[in-house]
Amino acid sequence: MGIVVIDFGGQYAHLIANRIRRLHVYAEIRSPLVDVRELAEADGIILSGGPASVYDENAPAFNEEILHTGKPLLGLCYGHQLICQGFGGRVEPGDVSEFGAAYLDVQKREELFDGLAERELVWMSHRDSVAQLPDGFSVYGATEDCPVAAMGDPVRRIYGLQFHPEVTHSEHGMQMLDNFLTLCGAARDWTMDQYIEQVKERVQKQTAGRKVFLLVSGGVDSSVAFLLLNQALGEDRVLGLHIDNGFMRKGETALVERLMKDSGFHNLQVVDASADFLRALEGVAEPEEKRRLIGEEFLLVRDRALARLELDPEEWLLGQGTLYTDTIESGGTDNAAVIKTHHNRVGVIEELLAEGKVVEPLDQLYKDEARELGEKLGLPHHLVWRHPFPGPGLGVRALCSDGDERISSLETAESEAQEMAEKCGLDLDILPLRSVGVQGDSRTYAHPAVVSGDSDWATLEDLSTELTNSFTSINRVIYLLGPQERPTQGIKKGYLTRDRLDLLREADVIVMDALERHDLLREVTQMPTVLVPLSSDGVQESIVLRPISTDDFMTARFSQLPQAFIDEVRDGLLSLEGIEAVFYDITHKPPGTVEWE
């Protein structure tokens, strides 16, 4: 049976299964209330992280017999704390929260840590900590702020890790998981080829002779889904629809149409619905409301296209290139918190999902797996490796505001944060706007801090981590690139208008063209260019660069790009009429999401 992952709603629950499959072991996700008889054939059990605290009254209900099956058991983050509490230890709120990179001092280089170094780079995301070990357990590793970052009972083969070995940025996390699989004696026989056959059978069974109408953005997810559906059902049962929603990059729709047709996709329709989307978003500033309206408008455009083509809606199911990251960030599993509602998870689509009217062949995969699947299916390499672009497009990269954001309640935090920055020779202000973040598997909607002055990447990274770990009111840190002296800025009123979007399109072209010229498109996984309504005169605005590197998009590091690129892009952006300042996002994920909204 392989490994069973018990899902407590953590952002990385399915990522654990992804990583286990990467090690060629079959993995399944199960509820915390699963009957232990269903675990009889499992080689081992992993307890995921989650947004709750184990000592809270509203902690997820779970079957405590899971802890006593006699099978190898590994708890991660919340799962680590649950093992502690379940076996008689004590969990308490930590004195210091940890979000992001930390160094683990390994005290027992055996079992899970066999073959590893005495000091390992790992990825933390927690507020609670183990305060007292259960009987039979000993400490296997600690960080500066977490005395029990790893614990174990080798006799019962039960282990707990406060950090996340499953994320890319735990440097040797895969070795730790590999060691656990060895302790479990699990068979290494799972392959992507098996998944392809399984998902094709699932799609054929779900459609039962009906056809699929797929929304095709032109990104890797929808392109892979389009090819898979074409192969599973045949082109006569699949129709792709590319919608220009007015939030596309400059020239993007024409490029998508050409790339698709050049790649052999002839069952694709293109619709310009930009005016409809802009009308629906007129005067809307709140991020979740923007995402909801964009998602619902996609369905209205789809319905109009079905009517125009005289297609029977009962005969055509909706297809989507949804990845598991979309599902988990939208709070789409039991016990998971909503980080941001993806356009393919708005209420109307949730209703269609419940009715079995949505086909999502990639919904259990992450970005790296979707790319591997695309290569296996024969999707052209240039489509597989295009930079991801969100369905709402520039609609979530043009921050909006009613012009009345207040930060008066943050004076104490700002004063203390300024003292931290001054120790690094930098100035700091908390900005009068907010962005979305993810900390401890929960959504935050808090203020970015801006720092300015001469510095280096290492100092900026350490300061960003210290600030976001120390202040709940700060979930993101940005660094001033230009002008040399930051203008005194406030928040200005701004919505999703064609003029603002056109300005952002021009800025985006400058950034993406520079990435290509400097041969950085593979080094940088994604490069959101964000328009923010920060202004000194109520007219001009500001740009934030958000380059990140990641494999799975569940965690990400901000990319540290060469100075020649930064100088060229900064100068190009400041030359645009309407842009008065350029910033660089120096926040990892967590605590900042990839997109600002």
- d(CA 464, CA 101) in angstroms, rounded, equals 11
Structure token digits, residue 485: 């002296």
Q: Minimal CA–CA distance to 162: which of 175, 177, 146, 173?
A: 146
Q: Which residue in 546, 559, 572, 560 sits closest to 478, CA to CA?
A: 546
Our CA angle for 591, 534, 441, nearest 5°, is 15
What number of helices (H) and strands (E) belong to the chain?
16, 25
- Residues 168, 171, 172: CA angle, nearest 5 degrees: 105
Asked if residues 490 and 535 have their Cβ atoms less than 8 Å apart, the reply is yes
CA 111 to chain centroid: 31
Helix (H, G, I), strand (E, B) or coil at 282: coil
CA distance 72 to 46: 9
CA proximity to 530, closest of 541, 540, 522, 515 = 541
Which is the catalytic residue, given 77, 84, 184, 400? 77
Residue pair 381/522 in contact (Cβ under 8 Å)? The answer is no
Catalytic residue among 120, 166, 461, 580: 166
Catalytic residue status for 164 = yes
- Residue 229, classed as helix, strand or coil, is helix
What HEC string does 386-440 produce?
A: CCCCCCCHHHHCECCECCCCCCHHHHHHHHHHHHHHHHCCCEEEECCCCEEEEEC
Active site residue 400: no
Q: Classify 207 as helix, strand or coil.
A: helix
Strands 548-549 and 557-558: antiparallel
DSSP string, 142-195: EETTEEEEEEEETTTTEEEESS-TTSTTSTTHHHHHHHHHHHHT------HHHH
d(CA 501, CA 250): 10
Specify whether the CB–CB gap between 249 and 394 falls below 8 A.
yes
Query: How far apart are alpha carbons 230 and 595 in whole angstroms?
Result: 31
Question: What are the start-end ranges of the H helices in 23-172?
Answer: 78-86
Catalytic, out of 14, 80, 126, 164: 164
Per the annotation, the verdict on 166 as an active-site residue is yes
Q: What is the DSSP string of 236-271?
A: GGEEEEEEE-S-SPTTHHHHHHHHHHHTT--SEEEE
d(CA 464, CA 448): 10
- Tell me the C-alpha distance between 518 and 281, whole Å: 36
> Residues 153, 158, 160, CA angle at the centre, nearest 5°?
95
The H-assigned helical ranges of 251-356 are: 252-262, 274-280, 287-308, 324-329, 347-354
| 320 alpha carbon, distance to own chain's centre | 18
The one-letter amino acid code at 39 reads L
Nearest to 478 by CA among 596, 583, 594: 583
Q: How far apart are CA 496 and CA 287, in angstroms?
A: 11
Q: Which residues are identified as catalytic?
A: 77, 164, 166
